[in-house]
Amino acid sequence: MTSSINNRPKEQKVLIIGGGVIGLCVAYYSLIAGKKVVLIERGPENVDNCSAENAGMVVPSHFVPLAAPGMISLGLRWMLNPESPFSIKLRPNVDMLRWLYLFWKSANKSHVLRSRELIRDLNLQSRELFVELASDGSYALSKNGLLMLCKTSRAFNEESELAEDAKELGLDIELCDAKRLAEIDPAIEMNVQGAVWFKQDCHMNPGAFLSQLKEKVIKMGGDIYYNLSAEKFIFESGRARSLECLQINKDTDSTSVQVIDADQFVIAGGSWSANLASSLGLKLPLMAGKGYSMTLTEPVQLPSICSILNEARVAVTPFNGSLRFAGTMELGDNDLKVNSRRVNGILKSIPKYFPQFQKNDFSGIKQWSGLRPCSPDGLPYIGPAGPSSKGVFIATGHAMMGLSLGPVTGKLMADIICGNVNKFDLKTMSPSRFC
């Protein structure tokens, strides 16, 4: 059957596929640009997705892409430890082998030097947009920075060297010893050698941010539909005109076909984006990176500044009296099954940095998992799907920076679909750059 979604006066309509932070930001800025917006989400309403339960950080500090020197050797070493922050579920799969090869080609110093200013600028622009979005009081944005906490002298020395690069890039940072850390955040006891304080980073409750953004989209006239799985595009005269979807009825366990017309389409489906891109003939290198989070509603201590436990690769975020711990990167596993060994690695690391916390503090706490869409060079995919897929655009591949880069991606995509000029190097982020 044909959906009632189409029963509207003819006007410029953009259909956005994916209801996470990227999809909602694209919807918001497309509405501001004067587009009629329809957003579809494959899952049901009010179900936590990767955007809602992440660490909630805005990170100008993260200017080094995932593909960086030393990551391959570090990953191989960590793979031997089932409780390490990183693993790859190797499979005899052509797409995985291609992704790993492209990652290997990108993991070098020249790539970092070419990419770091772009990543910095994207994050700083996104930070400005987060501040603007929070100006109406719809959600709380804490603008007091991020602490990169180092347990060992070696890690502190390495982070101090990275801090010099941050200074060269114009970021506001401070090297802190243990005494200085106690002054900055006396609410929590820390057992560390020192930290780098990235003062322009921010944090928030990501679920609250998504809720208010969804409300804004609806109030501005956007339509959001759930339980719709995008299947294939329908082309006319070389341009995408419709999208065929499966409507999933959870109550009757049945499906029906919906065909939605639009003038432009944006694929923002996170780790599932590659499947839809392949229907266009675009082999989009994309790997799901599973991560976990756990949130204490009554923590024994509550820091005021978010942090990353450096050696453990664990993010720590306070909001609304709660404290969230998030971490690990399990590449190549597209299911949401919780790996108890990886979670155990997170829980064992926390008391080493925050001695007032114990592993049993997390007994009975929900262990959440989500999938981050990772490109092999650590840069997002933002732009047209390709010359043979006119009218279709892609916004995904943000890895751990999906929330942080959400607003700037939405603004960029609205500019692209409207034909506006912007200051960023779109060729570097082109979805077809590996073709």
The residue ranking higher by pLDDT, 9 or 160, is 160
**Angle between helices 21-32 and 406-418 in degrees, nearest 10:** 50
Which CATH number among 3.40.640.10, 3.30.9.10, 2.40.40.20, 3.40.630.30 corresponds to the domain 58-107+141-202+286-374? 3.30.9.10
Q: What are the structure tokens assigned to 99, written together?
A: 């992704």
Q: What is the model's pLDDT at position 49? A: 66
| pTM assigned to the model | 0.95
- What pLDDT, on a 0 to 100 scale, did the predictor assign at position 9? 44
Q: What one-character DSSP code corresponds to residue 236?
A: E
Q: How far apart are CA 243 and CA 327, in angstroms?
A: 36
Pairing of strands 306-309, 146-150: parallel
pLDDT digit string, tens, across residues 100-145: 999 999 999 999 999 999 999 999 999 999 999 999 999 999 999 9
- Assess contact for 279 and 397: CB atoms under 8 A: no
Average pLDDT, the chain: 93
Mean pLDDT over residues 62-73, rounded?
A: 88
pLDDT at res. 1:
34
| Separation of alpha carbons 401 and 61, rounded Å | 11
Out of 3.20.20.120, 3.50.50.60, 1.20.1090.10, 1.10.730.10, the CATH code matching 4-50+209-284+377-418 is 3.50.50.60
Residue limits of CATH 3.50.50.60 in the chain: 4-50+209-284+377-418
pLDDT for 48: 62
Q: What is the pLDDT of residue 252?
A: 78
Give 365-415 pLDDT, tens digit per residue. Answer: 999 999 999 999 999 999 999 988 999 999 999 999 999 999 999 999 999
CA distance 323 to 301: 9
Confidence of residue 199 (pLDDT cuts 50, 70, 90): very high
Model confidence at 363: pLDDT above 50 = yes
* Contact status, residue 223 vs residue 5, Cβ threshold 8 Å: yes
Q: What is the pLDDT of residue 64?
A: 95
Cα torsion angle, 89, 91, 96, 98, sign: positive
Q: Could you tell me which residue, 50 or 116, shows the higher pLDDT?
A: 116
Banded pLDDT at 88 (limits 50, 70, 90): confident
Read off the pLDDT band of 422 (50, 70, 90).
confident
Q: Say yes or no to pLDDT of 6 above 70.
A: no
Side by side, which strands form the sheet with 254-261? Answer: 228-236, 239-249, 254-261
pLDDT (mean) for 83-111: 90
279, two tokens: 């229907």
At 308-317, the pLDDT tens digits run: 999 999 999 9
Range list for CATH 3.30.9.10 in the chain: 58-107+141-202+286-374
CA dihedral 406, 409, 413, 416 (to 10 degrees): 170
Alpha helices in 204-248 (DSSP H): 206-219
